[in-house]
Chain A
């Protein structure tokens, strides 16, 4: 039987999580394959929730599949697509199916996705969703009514260590902890000195921090991310390292870089674990773990 994420987080071991993305459609072949590949190699698997505001098979569907296969799922919940009734209802469903880990996210903006004319809901924000989870655990819903049947979750949130300016991000980070976040999976980090500075602040709080590791599959991708993705900073030396590799070996180089970062984070006890995001290249996550010596 798989250990619960809560137990793993409290065990003191270096925690490894990764994520899978549900399909656009009903063909689950690929996501099920990724779950099979990861479920025994990582401590828990996130299932993304219409990532980048692109309509897909739901996160909870992917989480159910992970449960069926004996893995430990983390339900990603954004506040973009559901109001407070729908969010609470989904938490009830998750609880009855043994899906006990929730990552609370605000969610990307609607116009960045593929249904640009849709209404962004944002009835709650990520903080209010965390509070809602803690409220429901006390036996009440947001309307002040009693719940028939208890729920219990391990609730997490995200933080962007490279956000500029950083202070507002840190204020929100603290507010998320006060609202009940037990663990954080960070936005992708690449500059370990910067991350160490962030961790110095974060270590003041009783929460577990899993550093976000996004696989760089090419120099072009690295450059694009650092120029376009909010909160992502890839040092030029890393982009150069990728660019120096022959084209057919760039992915191998990216795997090596990710593995090296994970090994350093673990060796220097910089954080409590990592969250590996391979973004479409989930099949190489085991290779990243091998490169990290895990």
Chain B
């Protein structure tokens, strides 16, 4: 499982840094390193880009796991450079930005957009397979989540936009319900597709979602 991120445009980053000229940069050694959006190389590249627009980079670090509470230690180690800055630009997913923000009194600026939690299908290709909806149906859909894999999140079968196994929104994208149908058919479990699925309960896990493990 990885938190998949994409770097914001430099224009947007620049806009967020308006009036903030002394920048400390934080990357993440886990997901953002694997997606090549917040590893050492990208942090150093960001440093150069910021210097080109006359920002002073007071320092940088790549925290092993930015969303972990151990981040506090990494921040303490860099306290002097952080105190010397007037903001921290964070190249991790929003979980890392959130965690770091709880340990730093400086403004935190996200350099990345957090897209989804996904798996790496093939090197460098990430795909969302779970929307974390709190009501898992994949036991009845052959392991393929229709809420995630179907563009419309339909749970009762394909829409009229299904097109020779592809989706109306993208000719390259597989129709989730064709995939589900084929797998269920191979498993001789097509009766599951005939079952009526009721409307989703959006309060199964009310927002903002929390969980307490006893």
Q: Is B177 an interface residue (CB 8 A)?
A: yes
Q: How far is the CB of A155 from chain B (nearest CB, A)?
A: 15
Q: Are A231 and B163 in contact (CB under 8 A)?
A: yes
What are the interface flags for B4-23 relative to A under an 8 Å C-beta threshold, 1 for contact and 0 otherwise?
00000000000000000000
A-B contact count (CB 8 A): 90
Q: How many residues of A contact B (CB 8 A)?
A: 36
Secondary structure class of chain B's binding surface, majority of residues: loop
User: Which residues does chain A contribute within 8 Å of B153, judged by CB atoms?
Assistant: 122
Which of B156, B168, B199 makes the CB contact (< 8 A) with A172? B156
Closest to A179 in B: B196
- Whether a CB of chain A sits under 8 angstroms from the CB of B155 is yes
Contact B151 A109 (CB under 8 A): yes
B189 within 8 A of A: no
- CB neighbours of B161 from chain A (8 A): 108-109, 230
Residue interface mask B75-105, A partner, CB < 8 A = 1: 0000000000000000000000000000000
A108 vs B178: C-alpha distance when bound (angstroms) = 18
Residue interface bits B142-181, CB-to-A below 8 A is 1, else 0:
0000000001111111111111110011000000011001
CA A84 – CA B198 in complex, angstroms? Answer: 12
Quick check: A111 and B157 within 8 Å, CB to CB? no
B212 interfacial by beta-carbon distance below 8 Å? no
Known: A168-B193, A178-B196. A163 touches B162 (CB 8 A): yes
B200 contacts chain A at the CB level, 8 A cutoff: yes
Residues of chain B contacted by A171 (CB below 8 angstroms): 157, 181, 190, 193-194
- CA distance in complex: A119, B126 (Å): 23
Interface string of B187-214 (1 = CB under 8 A from A): 0001001101011100000000000000
CA distance A126 to B194 in the complex (A): 15
- Contact partner of A125 (CB less than 8 A), chosen from B151, B156, B164, B178, is B156
From residue B214, how far is it (CB to closest CB) to chain A in Å? 32
A168, closest chain B residue (CB): B181
Q: Does A112 contact B (CB under 8 A)?
A: yes
Q: How far is the CB of A109 from chain B (nearest CB, A)?
A: 5
- In angstroms, Cα B156 to Cα A158, docked, is 14
Q: Does A106 contact B (CB under 8 A)?
A: yes
Q: Are B178 and A168 in contact (CB under 8 A)?
A: yes
Known interface pairs A125-B154, A168-B178, A171-B190; A109-B196 also in contact (CB < 8 Å): no
B199 near A128 with CB under 8 A, answer yes
Given A123-B199, A158-B160, the answer on whether A174 and B168 have CB atoms closer than 8 Å is no
A72, B169: Cα distance in complex, Å: 34
Given contacts A230-B163, A231-B160, contact A168 B177 (CB under 8 A): yes
A120 adjacent to chain B (CB < 8 Å): yes
Cβ-defined contact, A167 with B151, below 8 A: no
Residues of B near any A CB (own CB < 8 A): 151-165, 168-169, 177-178, 181, 185, 190, 193-194, 196, 198-200
Give me 23 A-to-B residue pairs in the complex whose CB atoms sit less than 8 angstroms apart, sorted by A's number.
A80-B152, A108-B168, A111-B169, A112-B168, A120-B151, A122-B152, A125-B152, A125-B155, A127-B157, A128-B156, A158-B160, A160-B160, A160-B162, A164-B164, A164-B165, A167-B185, A168-B162, A168-B178, A172-B156, A178-B196, A230-B163, A231-B160, A231-B163
